[in-house]
Amino acid sequence: MIYLDNSASTITKPKEVIKAVEEALLHFSANPGRSGHQASIKTALMVEEVREQISTHFNNGSSEKVIFTHNCTHALNLAILGSAKKGGHVICTENEHNSVLRPLEHLKREGLITYSTAYQSDKRGIRLTDIAPLVKDNTYLIVCNHISNVNGDKAEIEEIGKFCKEHNIVFLVDCAQSAGHEKIDMQKMNIDMLAFAGHKGFYAPQSVGSLVINGDIHLSPILFGGTGTNSLELFQPELYPERLESGTISTPLILGLGAGIKFVESNFNDIKSKLDDLTTFINYELRKLRVDVYTEPENANGVIAFNIPNLSSSDVATLLDEHFGICVRGGLHCAPMKHKALGTTEQGAVRVSLSYFNTVTHAQKLLSAVKYILKKDKSSISKTLQKIEKKKGSQKN
């Protein structure tokens, strides 16, 4: 099997991550911060070490403002819903994932906010000039996708961050597809809140992520419950991270994330170089074929989107999987505005997404498979897909 769906979740985990999760299950399964006994304290110290790692990696200035979440979606919802201002205005971009668009739409339908969408004028990604004209007197938040999960378009977040600081607007960045292979300095880039998923660029287990806060941002909780502090009180504590972390956190996943961050930091240049080389190679080779490529060659961020004319992206993904053992994602990618901008709402897009563990051989086999599909006529492809569906039906029965 060749796995090229790493934007959804990396499948190959470094041995250090696997070992960290195993050790956590064996030695650090006490509930951190809930008891005063030795086992609980020992586990809490391990968790705090990872909190410090994340704080240092993104330079937010305070490990207390590192909030553990279930995933990037949870982190983005916490940031958007927790910062909502009645009568306020928010700006997002055409590249946003539904984990941004749906909470914004929820707040809008509840009559709490309005929001505007910035559309990119530069083929490489969102620029400050796309966002600045949308600012209103009541704009309190700008949400920006760093790297598109659909086609790898990249926003100029440093310029946008500087603008936000100058205009006293909170800046939230979705780093689901950039954390782990892009250098992100929250203080230098004036990022107030940053959301990421552990299971992508940090090669951690699924269901762990973080909302990282820089500076004096006050968020209302969206989840209420036990925090291990102020247990006699019927309201959430004011202090971070307890204010935003109710219930038992997942120590094994958090320690796995810590190991993933160490792995990335030790191999950062190699990871970035490999993603750049493989993305560029696949992009240029696809452009020699009769396919539509939606990723600009300059955006070598590990994500390439394309379509074969007159074939749905889902059918192409099925053929690659069933006939060649190549895992990619077809269809829509939870980013409706981006697909509308690309003109792919009907066809979707075939997304190839890479990790450090992919190779040139993987890329070459993908390209050979695409060439094979291009040689087949529509009737032949239709018969093949019917056989695949029949096979899947018999397997279910």
Which fold, 267-380? Aspartate Aminotransferase, domain 1 (3.90.1150)
How large is the average pLDDT for residues 20-30? 96
pLDDT exceeds 80 at position 392:
no
Percent of the chain at pLDDT above 90? 90
For residue 231, what is the enclosing H or E element?
none
**What pLDDT is attached to residue 389?**
82
pLDDT exceeds 90 at position 396:
no
Of the pLDDT bands very low, low, confident and very high (cuts 50, 70, 90), residue 379 is confident
* Amino acid residing at 56: T
**What pLDDT is attached to residue 152?**
98
Question: Is the model more confident about 393 or about 261?
Answer: 261
Helix (H, G, I), strand (E, B) or coil at 383: helix
pLDDT exceeds 70 at position 49:
yes
**What pLDDT is attached to residue 14?**
98
| Residue bearing tokens 């209302």 | 220
**What pLDDT is attached to residue 52?**
98
15-266 sits in which CATH class?
alpha beta
| Residue bearing tokens 């983005």 | 76
* Amino acid residing at 228: G
Q: What is the pLDDT of residues 299-335, one digit of tens each?
A: 999 999 999 999 999 999 999 999 999 999 999 999 9
Of the pLDDT bands very low, low, confident and very high (cuts 50, 70, 90), residue 384 is confident
Average pLDDT of the chain is 96
Secondary structure letter of residue 396 according to DSSP:
H
CB 304 within 8 A of CB 283: yes
pLDDT exceeds 60 at position 351:
yes
Nearest of 105, 18, 75, 34 to residue 207 by alpha carbon:
75
**What pLDDT is attached to residue 228?**
80
**What pLDDT is attached to residue 233?**
83
- Please report, for the chain, the start and end positions of each structural domain, with discontinuous segments joined by +: 15-266, 267-380
Q: What is the pLDDT of residues 51-94, one digit of tens each?
A: 999 999 999 999 999 999 999 999 999 999 999 999 999 999 99
Inter-helix orientation angle 378-396/313-324, to 10°: 70
373-to-205, 233, 308, 377, 384 alpha-carbon distances in Å: 34, 64, 9, 8, 11
pLDDT exceeds 90 at position 378:
no
How large is the average pLDDT for residues 234-261? 94
**What pLDDT is attached to residue 386?**
87
**What pLDDT is attached to residue 397?**
56
